[in-house]
Amino acid sequence: MIRINENFNKLKASYLFVDIARRVEKFKEENPSAKIIKMGIGDVTRALPEACIKAMHAAVDELASEESFKGYGPEQGYAFLREAIATNDFKSRGCNISADEIFVSDGAKCDTGNIQEIFAQDITVAVPDPVYPVYVDTNVMAGRTGLNVDGRYENLVYLEANEANGFIPEIPATTNIDLIYLCFPNNPTGATATKEQLTKWVEFAKANKALILFDAAYVAFIRDNEIPHSIYEIEGADEVAIEFRSFSKTAGFTGTRCAYTVVPKKCIAYTKSGEAQSVHPLWNRRHSTKFNGVSYPIQKAAEAVYSPEGKAQVKELIDFYLENAKIIRESMSSLGYKCTGGDNSPYIWVQTNSDSWEFFDTLLNKAAVVTTPGAGFGNCGQGYIRISAFNSRENVIEAMERIKKALNK
């Protein structure tokens, strides 16, 4: 008898986007002429940088003749891209990360979801609340949690991000944590962590023989040079942290697909008997067994992000979204709503002073603007909405004018 992995039955269906779609449909039926503006989108809206397009075209042409044709590439990624990443994203900020510690992949979603496979079944996992759901659901599927009770899975430790701690989870009182997921700049709150705050997490990991999984998918939005761009800017982090990055939000690769994971050779985990073991060979084995590499034209396009033209174009791209974010943040603040994010992040986390869904409905019904209710990201998201800066300038300005009219009666 073929049997299922019953851990999947524990997964709480995410009604968030289904529920949003249902409410938007109902609004459309009742207001057929309304022009809806979607400010809830977690996807980029602008075209790929010119440098990436050129590199991709040239790479496709290489595949057109037998002399320069490429079949399977290295599973870990081509050296040209891994070298460019190590030099530009790490060495340039004083982080001693080398090309062979970088694993190129087709997405940070897959990487943050797959990484847990190399760790033991009976470890204790800590996740932020509110959270990017991938971290939680992949551990549920793997059987590391109990059932979902009142919005939280049993056996998971929830690291609360709220107004009181400035949306940076505090170091937990319990030392019984083995794997810690952190994400900065954060999705959904837009919060960024200082060097001091990250240092505390690295020290906690060291003291407790734990490991940090650091998701830096939004690093390109950091404009304040004092904010760490990488966990490896913290001394000793290469022994206790794995970092995830993506070209998705950096250079508009959400549909193109390219990302990477950094596993330093010094990074350590332990056997049951307490013997230290490097994590790098484990991930190398996992990655090369189950993955056959990102396509050559896409890796060439990603490499172009680091060319002088690519850098300038990516900066222009991100500056555009950051200007949107500033407009949103200033508008919502001027209406008296407390906001986080939106300066070194494309997301603005707005305190609604009411139920998330109630506020969502008000913006939909009175302004025809769609946002994302914070409650959909975890219990600590109740009382917030997330507004995204991924949109056209026109839409952002019009959405903010409509919201002003709707709320500032």
Ligand X SMILES: *Cc1c(COP(=O)(O)O)cnc(C)c1O
Among 98, 254, 333, 351, binds ligand X (CB under 6 A): 254
**Structural contact between residues 185 and 192, judged by C-beta atoms closer than 8 angstroms:** yes
Asked if 298 is part of the footprint of ligand X (rule: CB under 6 A), the reply reads no
Shortest Å, Cβ 409 to ligand X: 35
Q: Which two tokens stand for residue 167?
A: 């949306």
Instruction: Name which of residues 202 to 231 contact ligand X (CB under 6 A).
Output: 215, 217
Shortest Å, Cβ 77 to ligand X: 14
Pairing state between β 156-160 and 179-183: unpaired
**Which residues, at least 6 apart from 250, have a Cβ–Cβ distance to it below 8 Å?**
219, 220, 305, 314, 318
Per-residue contact track with ligand X, 40 to 79, x per CB under 6 A?
A: --x-------------------------------------
**Structural contact between residues 43 and 395, judged by C-beta atoms closer than 8 angstroms:** no
Among 116, 145, 187, 189, binds ligand X (CB under 6 A): 187
Count of residues touching ligand X (by CB under 6 A) = 14
Identify which of residues 243 and 343 has a Cβ nearer to ligand X in the complex. 243
Task: Report how far Cα 200 is from the mean position of its chain's Cα atoms.
Answer: 21
Cβ contacts of 353-361, under 8 Å, gap ≥ 24: 353/383, 354/383, 355/382, 355/383, 356/381, 356/382, 356/383, 356/384, 356/385, 359/385, 360/20, 360/23, 360/385, 361/23
Shortest Å, Cβ 357 to ligand X: 22
Asked if 191 is part of the footprint of ligand X (rule: CB under 6 A), the reply reads no
User: What residue is closest to ligand X based on CB?
Assistant: 107
Question: Which among 50-58, 122-130, 243-251, 321-329 is the span making contact with ligand X, rule CB under 6 A?
Answer: 243-251
Among 132, 153, 296, 357, binds ligand X (CB under 6 A): 132
CA dihedral sign of residues 323, 328, 331, 333: negative
Among 202, 259, 332, 403, binds ligand X (CB under 6 A): 259
Block residue for tokens 């939680």:
136
Shortest Å, Cβ 67 to ligand X: 33
CA–CA distance, 303 with 78 (Å, rounded to integer)? 10
Among 20, 102, 182, 183, binds ligand X (CB under 6 A): 183
Asked if 108 is part of the footprint of ligand X (rule: CB under 6 A), the reply reads yes
What is the secondary structure of 171-202 as a DSSP string?
PPS-----EEEEESS-TTT-----HHHHHHHH
Shortest Å, Cβ 161 to ligand X: 13
> What's the order of all strands across the beta sheet hosting 347-351?
339-341, 347-351, 384-388, 372-373
Shortest Å, Cβ 407 to ligand X: 28
Asked if 269 is part of the footprint of ligand X (rule: CB under 6 A), the reply reads no
Q: Which two tokens stand for residue 150?
A: 């009142």
Identify which of residues 110 and 368 has a Cβ nearer to ligand X in the complex. 110
Q: Which residues bind ligand X (CB under 6 A)?
A: 42, 107-109, 132, 183, 187, 215, 217, 246, 248-249, 254, 259
